[in-house]
Each structure stands twice: as C-alpha cells, then as structure tokens.
Amino acid sequence: MSTNNPDAMNFQEHAIYHIYNRSNETLFRSREDYLFFVQKLEAFLLPCCDVLAWCLLPNHFHLMIKVKAEGVAWTDSKFRRKTQRLTEKLSFLAGAYTQGFNRRYGRRGHLFAHSTKAKRLNDESVSIFNDFGQVDYVTTCFLYIHQTPVMAGLVNDPAQWEMSSFNDYTEGRSGSFVNKEMAYQHLALAPHEVEIQSTSYLDDVLLNELY
C-alpha cells in the first residue's frame, strides 16, 4: 500500500508496514531536532503501533511498524472526515514536528515534500541471503532501514549512526521504544545475525518492493 493521500490509507491490524517521508530541504538541522522528532513519534504513534525499526536521516525518515488494534480504529468526529487513528497520528506527527521546526528556525509553510506513505510488507520468501536461507520483505526492510545512513554516505558503519534502531539490536541500548521481542518474531534473523547481515548487499529489485 503506497499512497500520496494519508486519508486513503487502510491499515490492517497485526500487519507490518514500511512508513516513510522526506523533505525537499534539511529536515533535521541539529541533534535536538532529531530528538524532538523521536519524542513526538513516541507520543503519537506508540498507542497505535509497535515500532520494529527506525532511522532518521537529514532529509527523510523510515519506520517499520506493526499495527495495533487502536491503530485501525476509526476516529469519530462531527467536524472532520473519518480516518483510522494511525493515519491521523501520522498526520499529527508531521504537523507537530513542522510547527516546532518552524518556530525554532523562524520559517513558515510545509516542511515535508508530501504526505507520509505506507507500504505493507508481506512475509513471502523472496531471496537467498548469504548462508541464512530465504529472506522475506520484512527482513529486507529491516536491514535496509539500518543501512540507509551508509548508503547515503553519512557513515561507514550502521553502528556509527546514532539516530536509528541499529544499536538497540546490536549493543542493547537502553531506553529505546523499539519492540525487539516482537521484531524477532517476524525476522528471518537470530539476534547474533543482525550485525553481520546489516552489512550485506541488498538487491535493488527487492528494495523497489519496499516503496
């Protein structure tokens, strides 16, 4: 599922999605900006979904989430079009961050290039991955999200990028909002394999299926 209109999203309970959005300018100018976004993410999204992986980059972000029952419930308002709560909260997240960013830097107008998009990930086995057998889209997306800082030339190793969930899985970083236990229920990886596989080549054909 991929759409330019967040109101057209139709989330399914227990389904896993790749959530992403970008800006045509720098989205995070400082470490404080990144942390502010994380704070808003936790406040708005965690009641509606479990976050399995995430990464924030200078001009865009990626999330991999599993939808809770609260996320598929419909809003009940006499004054607004009915939407699912997760769709509403994704809109609130972008709006709240934009408002805070605009106040901080004295700017006006939209910050994100388009509405937040979502692509449902199935667990069909699609590729042989080194010595670990078949890998599904969920695992591919998980690895891709953690590799994006390296792909963007920001760092040489995923562990060097603070603003992702990679170190939650490899170093046991405390205080994280990532649901690692749930993630391992869906990943074709054991805990000791995450670091090894996160430096493996990801086929472009598979990556195109994540958007």
For 165-183, the pLDDT digits (tens) are: 999 998 877 767 999 999 9
For 17-26, the pLDDT digits (tens) are: 999 999 999 9
Counting the structural domains of the chain, the total is 1
Tell me, what CATH number does 196's domain have? 3.30.70.1290
Measured in degrees and rounded to the nearest 5, phi and psi for residue 176 equal: -80, 150
**What are the E-state strand segments in 68-181?**
117-121, 125-128, 134-136
Is residue 101 a part of any domain in this protein? yes
Over range 55-67, report the average pLDDT.
97
Is residue 1 a part of any domain in this protein? no
Across the chain, what does the average pLDDT equal? 86
Is residue 93 a part of any domain in this protein? yes
CA distances 41 to 46, 52, 110, Å, are: 7, 13, 18
pTM: 0.86
- Is residue 121 pLDDT above 60, yes or no? yes
Which domain covers residue 68, as residue numbers?
Answer: 6-208
Over range 199-210, report the average pLDDT.
64
